[in-house]
């Protein structure tokens, strides 16, 4: 029997895993500067949590959720995203009683039964942030700038920030009507998905990727022309904050997002080096959701970063920085092997990565291994050396070599580390 991972689900191994760890560490460091605390949210939740928040007629809820009945016949869903569980936690734990804003981040796997392709997986990882309790646009700007800072720290400068405002409950119905009117006469020419969206979620027609639909929607009204005065002022202020800090952005009036909970600010960060799945991070404001979940009216905003896509962009740049062992101890004979075992542990107790021979291998194959795993130094312990209390060393990076006494090993390593 030959087993394989499920379609659209991958293992993440060395050396890629180092990129992942670097991304996670950098996110933690940067988010700390803005006061975000980690929250660990469950992978499974009650299905209604996602249906109510993401929206019954969205692609995620209609076709992509991993939903099952548990042994007590409750409908359970493996989280397709983190915002809904974060809001559930915020309300359930009465976190609105704490001083606002409450700022959180989370990371981990999400599950969507999508058609797998480059950059799109059925189990994928996000790092998400959510800030609760501030309606002012300064926090919208703050988290966009935080995202930019994080991307800069990991070395991703070549990305585009696209922003939009999709209005609120007051102004969006008018906009929806104007869209319906615009699409009405041409509906038969749109793709079947858009024809369905016309009745369920007409805004989504604006981000359909089908060529024919892109042409047909030319000239459609822009949401920004329909914003009420409050939403317009909010959006204008967000833009002025971005300008204040010289953050480059592009206004994209077709940016509507695929989840129903958004109000006002919506944004996406895209890269031209990724092919069709080019969004590396996305988010927006969701001022109604906490109330929908039974909490007090609480404005909120957040975003999530797609780990696979960021890791793919960093692969080229970071291959040089994978951690490698400081020392490989090659040994000849049983006694030397035991001494190698002891020395390796001594080196590790000084905080350096040491590898040694576990027995059996010829010197030649040990040296080949040291080279393959990228060790910086090789120590060679043979019977003669052992008797004289000496070892041979060779620096595999610059070719230098020599002999030192066993007592000198640690001082030599601390000098060269």
Binding site for ligand HAM (CB under 6 A): 81-83, 112, 114, 120-121, 124, 126, 128, 130, 258, 279-284, 302-304, 306, 308-309
Q: How far is the CB of 129 from ligand HAM (least distance, A)?
A: 7
Q: Which is nearer to ligand HAM, 61 or 336 (CB)?
A: 61
Q: Residue 130 or 162: which CB sits closer to ligand HAM?
A: 130
Closer of 87 and 194 to ligand HAM (Cβ): 87
Decide: helix, strand or coil at residue 65. coil
Q: Which is nearer to ligand HAM, 90 or 379 (CB)?
A: 90
- Smallest gap from Cβ 168 to ligand HAM, in A, equals 16
The answer to whether the CB of 92 falls within 8 A of the CB of 84 is no
Tokens 């102004």 belong to: 171
**Pairing mode, if any, of strands 300-306 and 279-285?**
antiparallel
- Residue with the closest Cβ to ligand HAM? 306
CB-CB neighbours of 358 under 10 Å? 10
In the complex with ligand HAM, the residue whose CB is nearer, 82 or 340, is 82
Distance CA 383, CA 98 (A): 68
- For the CB of residue 310, give the shortest distance to ligand HAM in the complex, in Å: 8
> How many of the other CB atoms lie within 10 Å of CB of 361?
14
Q: In what order do the strands lie in the sheet with 44-46?
A: 44-46, 75-78, 66-69
Contact status, residue 103 vs residue 142, Cβ threshold 8 Å:
no
- Closest distance to ligand HAM from the beta carbon of 297 (Å): 18
- Report, in Å, the least distance between residue 1 CB and ligand HAM: 29
Q: At its nearest, how many Å lie between ligand HAM and the CB of residue 191?
A: 20
- CB of 254: closest distance to ligand HAM in angstroms? 15
User: Whose Cβ is closer to ligand HAM: residue 124's or residue 241's?
Assistant: 124
| Minimum distance, C-beta of residue 136 to ligand HAM, in the bound complex (Å) | 17
Closer residue to ligand HAM (CB): 197 or 326: 197
Compare residues 120 and 196 and give the one whose CB is closer to ligand HAM: 120
Query: What are the counts of helices (DSSP H) followed by strands (DSSP E) for the chain?
Result: 15, 16
Q: List residues bridging with 123 in a β-sheet.
A: 111
Residues in CB range of 207: below 8 A, 6 or more apart: 254, 255, 256, 257, 258
- Specify whether the CB–CB gap between 257 and 144 falls below 8 A: no
Q: Is the dihedral of CA 146, 152, 154, 156 positive or negative?
A: positive
Asked whether the bond before 15 is cis by omega within 30 degrees of 0, the reply is yes
Rank residues 244 and 250 by Cβ distance to ligand HAM and give the closer one.
250
Distance CA 13, CA 216 (A): 44
3-state secondary structure of 381: strand
The secondary structure of 171-204 as a DSSP string is: THHHHHHHHHHHHHTTGGGS-HHHHHHHHH-GGG
CB of residue 83 to ligand HAM, shortest distance in Å: 4
């Amino acid at each position: 029997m030959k087993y394989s991972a499920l379609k659209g689900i991958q293992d993440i191994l060395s050396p890629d895993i180092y990129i992942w760890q670097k991304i996670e560490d950098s996110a933690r460091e940067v988010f700390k500067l803005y006061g975000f605390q980690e929250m660990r949210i469950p992978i499974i939740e009650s299905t209604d949590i996602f249906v109510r928040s993401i929206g019954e007629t969205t692609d995620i809820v209609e076709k992509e959720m991993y939903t099952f009945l548990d042994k007590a016949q409750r409908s359970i869903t493996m989280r397709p995203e983190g915002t809904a569980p974060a809001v559930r936690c915020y309300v359930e734990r009465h976190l609105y009683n704490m001083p606002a804003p409450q700022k959180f981040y989370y990371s981990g796997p999400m599950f969507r039964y999508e058609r797998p392709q480059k950059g799109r997986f059925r189990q994928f990882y996000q790092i998400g942030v959510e800030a609760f309790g501030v309606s002012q646009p300064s926090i919208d700007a703050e988290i966009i700038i935080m995202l930019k800072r994080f991307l800069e720290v990991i070395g991703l400068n070549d990305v585009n920030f696209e922003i939009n405002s999709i209005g609120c409950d007051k102004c969006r119905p008018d906009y929806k009507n104007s869209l319906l009117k615009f699409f009405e006469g041409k509906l038969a020419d749109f793709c079947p998905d858009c024809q369905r969206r016309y009745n369920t979620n007409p805004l989504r027609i604006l981000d359909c990727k089908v060529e024919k639909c892109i042409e047909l929607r030319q000239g459609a009204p822009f949401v920004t022309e329909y914003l009420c005065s409050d939403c317009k002022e909010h959006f204008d202020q967000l833009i002025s904050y971005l300008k204040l800090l010289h953050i480059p952005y592009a206004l994209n009036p077709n940016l509507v997002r695929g989840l129903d909970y958004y109000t006002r600010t919506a944004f996406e960060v895209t890269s031209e080096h990724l092919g069709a799945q080019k969004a590396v991070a996305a988010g927006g404001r969701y001022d109604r959701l906490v109330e929908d979940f039974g909490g007090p009216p609480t404005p909120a905003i957040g975003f999530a970063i797609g780990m696979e896509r960021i890791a793919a962009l960093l692969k080229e740049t970071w291959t040089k920085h994978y951690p490698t062992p400081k020392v490989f101890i090659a040994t000849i004979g049983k006694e030397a092997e035991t001494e190698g075992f002891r020395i390796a542990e001594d080196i590790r107790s000084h905080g350096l990565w040491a590898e040694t021979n576990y027995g059996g291998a010829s010197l030649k194959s040990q040296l080949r291994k040291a080279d393959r795993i990228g060790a910086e130094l090789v120590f060679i312990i043979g019977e003669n050396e052992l008797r004289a209390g000496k070892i041979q060393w060779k620096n595999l990076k610059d070719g230098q070599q020599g002999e030192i006494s066993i007592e000198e090993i640690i001082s030599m390593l601390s000098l060269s580390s």
